[in-house]
């Protein structure tokens, strides 16, 4: 039942809104911001500034009067730049006509869910995984169902577990590679198995490609490309919707910009959803996005190199001590997924680390039940901050 205002017969908020759990990551961040001297290692925010040519494109568009409504699908220049980028980077052949601009990856995922899901449908989401993958389903009246990820040298969905979770109500399988929070990436063989399984069950696959260019080791293919290869070889393949974001790959978190690549039959459905949701994405921001995707790309490799070096330094710092260990060696994104000794709930530990040791990490439980016993560290921090932050955590666990 929806909560009611005291002394009133009127409900306050919808049942769907009431079902949204507060963000465990934000709770730690709020506490850290109120605690002076806290080293903040909890947020997934790139440490690099937005490239100057992107900022200038935004300003120039505004000066040129590009401040009015734009087309719901997005300005042609950005959709063309996105199609060229996925061909160049991801190996995909996508027409600009099947690219729809969105207000960041989270809004793009929400639009995709609303285009695919009815109330009561089930969505298979990774556990551990970015919490919004589940809460966005709740907002649609759908039911998120967490599936476990295999650790080790070849991370990926546990197909045996998936087989036990699929029901007649299952509509969508969500994949995220490289993963937030683990940094694990699915190789081509793993994706072939997962996509083949989805095809056999008649599921749509939604690929969260937020970190598609943030591979720290050898880049792996995206889900849509693997589906194309399966189809070309005569094997069953599901329809894949790919949701990309410029936030992490181009240090544009505050711009709120991304794009959705859809199979042609779904494109008009997504665009109907977008028209009713936001009319259009900010026009000057779209021109900045066109510059980001179509202009110099040096900043992408600079960020990758920085995160790779920080991963390696942090791994060396952790060494062979027992209190805090790498659960998965991250091959992508910019996180360390750390297992800690003891049975203290991760939410309690994260709070204690802020209050008593002035270091903030994201609690593993915020990423699903399978995240308990873990902490997530963002590599998007200065080297000295990371080194001191990890030192404080190990000291707290071994005191």
Res. 5 pLDDT band, cuts 50 70 90: low
Do both 273 and 382 map to the same domain? Answer: no
Which pLDDT value is given to residue 12?
80
Assess if residue 341 is contained within a domain: yes
- pLDDT (tens digit, 9 = 90+) per residue, 251-306? 999 999 999 999 999 999 999 999 999 999 999 999 999 999 999 999 999 999 99
Q: Which H or E run includes 243? A: strand 240-245
Which pLDDT value is given to residue 6?
57
Which pLDDT value is given to residue 33?
93
Res. 20 pLDDT band, cuts 50 70 90: confident
Mean pLDDT, rounded, for 85-98: 98
CA–CA distance, 287 with 378 (Å, rounded to integer):
29
Listed residues 260, 281, 296: the one ending a domain: 296
Q: What is the CATH number of the domain that holds 35?
A: 3.90.1150.10
Res. 4 pLDDT band, cuts 50 70 90: low
Mean pLDDT, rounded, for 235-262: 98
Q: Which H or E run includes 288? A: helix 283-294
Which pLDDT value is given to residue 153?
72
Are 358 and 39 spatial neighbours (Cβ–Cβ below 8 Å)?
Answer: yes
User: Which of 59, 72, 51, 71 lies closest to 285 in space, CA to CA?
Assistant: 59
Beta-carbon contacts of 61 under 8 Å, excluding residues fewer than 6 positions away, are 67, 283, 284, 287, 288
Which pLDDT value is given to residue 105?
97
Assess if residue 8 is contained within a domain: no
Residue 15 has pLDDT above 90, yes or no: no
Strands 359-360, 39-40: pairing is parallel
Round the average pLDDT of the chain to a whole number and report it: 95
Do both 316 and 240 map to the same domain? Answer: no
Number of domains within the chain: 2
Residue 245 has pLDDT above 50, yes or no: yes
Do both 92 and 230 map to the same domain? Answer: yes
Q: For residue 280, what are the CA distances in angstroms to 73, 100, 139, 251, 271?
A: 7, 10, 21, 22, 10
Structure tokens at 12: 């306050």
Structural domain harbouring 29: 15-49+298-398
Mean pLDDT, rounded, for 40-50: 92
- pLDDT (tens digit, 9 = 90+) per residue, 176-189? 999 999 999 999 99
Which pLDDT value is given to residue 13?
83
Which pLDDT value is given to residue 192?
98
Do both 74 and 202 map to the same domain? Answer: yes
In the Cβ-directed half-sphere of 290, how many Cα atoms lie within 13 Å? 19
Listed residues 237, 269, 296: the one ending a domain: 296
Listed residues 250, 269, 296: the one ending a domain: 296
Which pLDDT value is given to residue 7?
58
**In angstroms, how far is CA 64 from the centroid of its own chain?**
33
Other C-beta atoms within 10 Å of 351: how many?
16
Residue that has been written with the tokens 């690219």 in this structure: 99
- pLDDT (tens digit, 9 = 90+) per residue, 343-366? 999 999 999 999 999 999 999 999
- pLDDT (tens digit, 9 = 90+) per residue, 132-166? 999 999 999 999 999 999 877 778 999 999 999 99
Q: Tell me the DSSP string of 346-361.
A: HHHHHHHHHHHH-EE-
Residue 9 has pLDDT above 70, yes or no: no
Res. 1 pLDDT band, cuts 50 70 90: very low
Do both 70 and 145 map to the same domain? Answer: yes
Mean pLDDT, rounded, for 122-126: 99
Do both 138 and 284 map to the same domain? Answer: yes
Q: What is the CATH number of the domain that holds 120?
A: 3.40.640.10
Assess if residue 4 is contained within a domain: no
Residue that has been written with the tokens 């027409």 in this structure: 95
> What percentage of the chain reaches a pLDDT higher than 90?
90
Burial class (CB in 10 A: 0-12, 13-18, 19+), 320: exposed
Do both 77 and 133 map to the same domain? Answer: yes
pTM for the whole structure: 0.94
Assess if residue 2 is contained within a domain: no
Assess if residue 24 is contained within a domain: yes
Residue that has been written with the tokens 């009015």 in this structure: 68
User: Which of 207, 299, 309 lies closest to 258 in space, CA to CA?
Assistant: 207
- pLDDT (tens digit, 9 = 90+) per residue, 144-153? 999 999 877 7
Do both 183 and 212 map to the same domain? Answer: yes
Which pLDDT value is given to residue 99?
99
**In angstroms, how far is CA 185 from the centroid of its own chain?**
13
User: Which of 136, 147, 133, 268 lies closest to 201 in space, CA to CA?
Assistant: 147
Do both 143 and 268 map to the same domain? Answer: yes
> What percentage of the chain reaches a pLDDT higher than 70?
97
Are 31 and 351 spatial neighbours (Cβ–Cβ below 8 Å)?
Answer: yes
Q: For residue 285, what are the CA distances in angstroms to 38, 59, 255, 278?
A: 33, 9, 6, 14
Do both 366 and 230 map to the same domain? Answer: no
Which pLDDT value is given to residue 69?
97
Res. 367 pLDDT band, cuts 50 70 90: very high
Mean pLDDT, rounded, for 116-131: 98
Do both 247 and 150 map to the same domain? Answer: yes
Q: Which H or E run includes 199? A: helix 188-200
Do both 45 and 56 map to the same domain? Answer: no
The three-class DSSP label of residue 193 is helix
């Amino acid at each position: 039942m929806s909560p009611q205002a005291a002394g009133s017969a009127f409900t306050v908020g919808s049942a769907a809104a009431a079902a949204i759990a507060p963000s465990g990551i934000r709770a730690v961040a709020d506490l850290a911001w109120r605690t002076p001297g806290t080293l903040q290692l909890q947020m997934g925010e790139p440490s690099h500034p937005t490239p100057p040519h992107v900022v200038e494109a935004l300003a120039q568009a505004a000066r040129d009067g590009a401040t009015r409504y734009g087309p719901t699908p997005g300005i042609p220049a950005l959709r063309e730049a996105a199609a060229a980028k996925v061909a160049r980077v991801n190996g995909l052949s996508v027409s600009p006509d099947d690219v729809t601009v969105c207000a960041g990856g989270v809004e793009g995922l929400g639009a995709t869910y609303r285009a695919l899901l009815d109330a009561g449908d089930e969505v298979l989401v990774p556990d551990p995984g970015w919490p919004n993958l589940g809460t966005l389903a709740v907002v649609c009246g759908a039911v998120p169902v967490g599936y476990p990820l295999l650790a080790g040298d070849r991370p990926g969905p546990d197909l045996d577990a998936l087989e036990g979770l699929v029901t007649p109500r299952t509509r969508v399988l969500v994949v995220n590679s490289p993963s937030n929070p683990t940094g694990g990436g699915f190789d081509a063989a793993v994706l072939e198995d997962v996509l083949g399984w989805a095809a056999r069950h008649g599921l749509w696959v939604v690929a969260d490609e937020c970190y598609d260019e943030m591979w720290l080791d050898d880049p792996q293919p995206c889900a849509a490309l693997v589906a194309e290869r399966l189809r070309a070889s005569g094997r069953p393949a599901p329809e894949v919707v790919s949701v990309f974001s410029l936030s992490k790959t181009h240090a544009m978190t505050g711009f709120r910009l991304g794009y959705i690549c859809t199979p042609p039959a779904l494109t008009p459905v997504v665009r109907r959803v977008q028209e009713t949701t936001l009319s259009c994405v900010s026009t000057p921001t779209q021109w900045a996005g066109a510059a980001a995707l179509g202009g110099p790309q040096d900043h992408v490799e600079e960020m990758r190199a920085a995160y790779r070096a920080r991963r390696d330094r942090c791994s060396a710092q952790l060494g062979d001590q027992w209190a805090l260990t790498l659960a998965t060696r991250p091959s992508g994104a910019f996180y360390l997924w750390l297992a800690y000794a003891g049975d203290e709930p991760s939410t309690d530990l994260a709070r204690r680390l802020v209050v008593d040791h002035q270091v903030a990490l994201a609690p593993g439980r915020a990423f699903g039940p399978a995240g308990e016993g873990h902490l997530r560290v963002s590599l998007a921090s200065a080297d000295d901050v990371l080194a001191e932050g990890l030192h404080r955590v190990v000291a707290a666990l071994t005191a």
